[in-house]
A = this chain, B = another copy of it.
Amino acid sequence: MYRLRNWLISDNGVSEEDMLQNGNRLMTGNGYLGYRGTVSEAEPSWMPAVIVSGLYDRQGDLWREPVNAPDCLYAKLFVRDEPLMASGENVLSHEQTLDFRYGIYSRETSWTVDGVSVTLHAERITDICNVHRLCMKYAISADAPVTITLKQGINCAVHDLNGPHLGNFRLDKDEKNGLLVLDADTLEKAVPLSVACTVDVAGDVVCGTEVSGEGAFHVYTIKADKDKRFDFFVYGAVYSGADTAEDCGVKARETALSSLAEGWESILSGHRKKWDEIWLKGDVIIEGDDYAQHALRYSLYHLHSIAPRHAKSLSVPARGLSGQTYKGAVFWDTEMFISPYFLCTEPDLVARFIRYRIHTLPGAKRKASEYGYRGAFYAWESQESGDDACSLFNVTDVFTGRPVRTYFRDKQIHISADIVHAIRTYINVTGDTEILKEGAMEVILECARFFLSYLYYSPEHDRYELLDVTGPDEYHERVNNNAFTNRIVFSVFETVQTCVDLLKKQDGGFIEKLFAELSFDTDMAFMHEVMKKFYLPQPDSGNVIEQFDHYFKLEDCSLDTVKSRLCDPREYWGGANGVAGNTQIIKQADVVLMLVLFGNEYSDEIKRANLAYYEPRTEHGSSLSNCMYAQLSCASGNSEWAYPFFIKTAEIDITGTSKQFAGGIYIGGTHPAANGGAWMTAVQGFCGFSMNDGKISCKPRLPEKWKRVVFSVVYNGEHIEVTVTKDGYSLCMK
């Protein structure tokens, strides 16, 4: 059972399901490494993982997925060859805790062995200062004499969804300084990966080493007794060829040894200081609602623990660094749900996300070309090269075990528009047009070109249309004129115009040169024609916007009816044969998302009408859904209605009650998009905060019990504290 307190979340569960949940719930990370919140003696089936950002591998013809590094903080206790496990029957007490202010994981477990009580207290961090560093304090005590064995070192028996991913293992040990080193290569592209660890031990112990196919370990014999404590300090390091051109093995050895030299207390102190700095800009204070306060901070913690501050060009996967689900891939989540928070608090991070899209532009162009289009069709599931990791058969039929043809990869064309939207917003807020010259302008033009090559003209209606697409509501594949998609694609064309105008005002002929390089003049002329006759679905007489052509003709039944038709709880709801596919039941915000993004263009009446129409028809089967309904409800004047949707979003990684399977595929993990959605709802929704075209403003519509909200934004390089009450708001330079 989990417990949420001020900056702390704990759980005392010991079942395998608890272990899985806590792996997500208590995870630590620093944007480079993600260390799941599992105990250090975890069995592979508990899914322990050390995820290395930006490093992917393919096993055979299975999906490419992130590489799980050998675990250098692995540690397991034995008494007379019997292991002491958190799940053991001899456990007296067990609790794991995450201090999410400082990203410190701790666990305390006591066992009784032959009447003797043995206690382990461990703490660990995924260092946020030196992102290659993993450190652990591991303290053992007992209330009577007992001989305990500790096996600690680099465990290669890692869990993988589609593994293994490493080969060419080379294990090394340096008896002199207790260093253990593993060098290995990924299987697909032979990218080197090195893991090192060393140990500082306070107490009188006997040490040997054990090297096997399972890894390299120190084996300590500990003569424990009453009032004696044995403190082990483990210093680990991880490097991969995906993030350094230097020798990974050398770097890992150096880092482990320099950490040993620096020591736990100093490292921990630096780590805490850095987290203090993060919260200085990143915290949101909610007065009057402790649960919302804790849940929101916890959400923001998750965002910071995956923020790629170490890399100039990197993005965040849709499941963060919490494991291998969703192929460790970057989705639109980054641009649409995660960027808004960082744009207001650490805009440099958004620039990194944009640069990731710039450097994956060749992959996006390859994808467009593969489908017979021009320009850039960004990957629905993007890994290091920008080629699409998404399979054409992304779901399994639970009745036949056969793969189901899905159209996430082929038809979710809005991804290219989402990226342009994020660039446009970034420029609007930061005024940084340099990013355009770094490659973002090329991204914008190639995305526009993709849509120009994708669209069709309807002579019957004298308009340009987007046919055969899949919108945010993935349950309805291959639809025509998805309102959201059409609107955001139109926004791409608008962005081209805006950015061209911006750049033309500057010196240097950059845009003229780029147009010439890309031969964009013809496209530009055609784009202007298209903009005159581009189809944007409009509200009907009841103010409701049809999600796509003929959506209103689909069976209009309740969510309960659709659920009652399920023959297996793990069935995929969408697509041609899914229970929702031929009804008006949708997976997530779609028209509602459009109304949030383009709120200025629609009246409150329209917003309310669409909320009222679509919400009862929405499964909220995606973690991206609730926050959009909440925001639109705030925007149209009903914060109380929005509140439970906010809570569901903010607590998603606390409760762990989100969908764990879709069409037979495990999809568990953390939910950075919902984490970002919680911030959006609190700050943009309830506080009505906006930062557009050089102007900061708030339009408070706080929930009943919220007294005051305080948050920070960075604007024009200035750090501004915003205080919002029910009646107004104030800004304060810091």
Which residue in chain B gives the minimum CB-CB distance to A568? B400
Query: Per-position contact with B for A460-472: 1 when CB-CB < 8 Å, else 0?
Result: 1000010110000
A432-487 residues at the B interface, CB under 8 angstroms = 452-460, 465, 467-468, 478, 480
Shortest C-beta distance, A469 to chain B (Å), equals 12
User: In the complex, what distance in Å separates the CA atom of A268 from the CA atom of B478?
Assistant: 60
Q: Could you say which of A183-191, A356-364, A574-582 contacts chain B?
A: A574-582
Q: Tell yes or no: A526 within 8 A of B by CB.
A: yes
Please indicate the chain B residues that have their CB under 8 angstroms from the CB of A397 in the complex.
Answer: 577
A457-B460 in contact (CB<8A): no
Residue A402 at the B interface, CB < 8 A?
Answer: yes
User: Would you call A399 and B402 a contact (CB within 8 A)?
Assistant: no
Chain A residues 603 to 627 lying within 8 A of chain B, measured CB to CB, are none
A431 to chain B, nearest CB (A): 35
| In the complex, residue of chain B having the shortest beta-carbon distance to the beta carbon of A480 | B468
A455 vs B467: C-alpha distance when bound (angstroms): 12
Copies in the complex: 2
Decide: A459 and B455 in contact? CB cutoff 8 A: yes
A567 at the binding interface (Cβ < 8 Å): yes
What is the distance, in angstroms, from A645's C-beta to the closest C-beta of chain B?
Answer: 31
Query: Are A456 and B457 interface neighbours, CB within 8 A?
Result: yes
Residue A707 interfacial (CB < 8 Å): no
Complex partner residue of A399 from B373, B393, B399, B480, CB under 8 angstroms = B399
Interface of chain A residues 164 through 188 with chain B (CB within 8 A)? none
Q: How far is the CB of A623 from chain B (nearest CB, A)?
A: 26
User: A566-602 interface mask toward B, CB cutoff 8 Å, 1 = contact, 0 = none?
Assistant: 0100000001110101100000000000000000000
Are B456 and A458 in contact (CB-based, < 8 A)?
yes
Complex Cα–Cα for A454 and B465 (A): 13
A565 sits at the interface (CB 8 A)? yes
A405 at the interface (CB under 8 A from B): yes
Q: Does A91 count as interface, using CB distance less than 8 angstroms? A: no
| Cβ 8 A contact of A405, one of B393, B460, B550, B577 | B577
Docked Cα-Cα span, A454 to B455, in Å, equals 16
User: Is there contact, CB below 8 Å, between B405 and A582?
Assistant: yes
A294: min CB distance to chain B, Å:
43
Shortest Cβ distance from residue A673 to the other chain B in the assembled complex, whole angstroms: 28
Which one of B373, B457, B576 contacts A575 once the chains associate, using CB atoms below 8 Å? B576
> Please, which residues of chain B bring their CB within 8 A of the CB of A459?
452, 455-457, 526
* Chain A, range 542-575, C-beta contacts under 8 Å to B: 550, 565, 567, 575
At the interface, yes or no: A404 with Cβ under 8 Å from chain B? yes
B457, A405: Cβ atoms under 8 Å?
no
Most chain B CB within a 10 A radius of its CB, from A399, A467, A579, A581: A399
Complex Cα distance A405/B475, Å?
14
A sample of 22 inter-chain contacts (CB < 8 A) reads A393-B582, A397-B577, A399-B399, A399-B567, A400-B567, A401-B567, A402-B577, A402-B579, A405-B576, A405-B577, A405-B581, A405-B582, A452-B460, A455-B459, A456-B456, A456-B457, A456-B465, A457-B458, A467-B468, A468-B468, A468-B480, A575-B577
6 tightest CB-CB pairs across the interface, nearest first? A576-B576, A399-B399, A456-B456, A457-B457, A400-B567, A453-B460
Known: A459-B526, A468-B480. 10 other contacts (CB 8 A): A392-B582, A402-B567, A402-B577, A404-B576, A405-B577, A456-B458, A456-B465, A457-B457, A457-B458, A575-B577
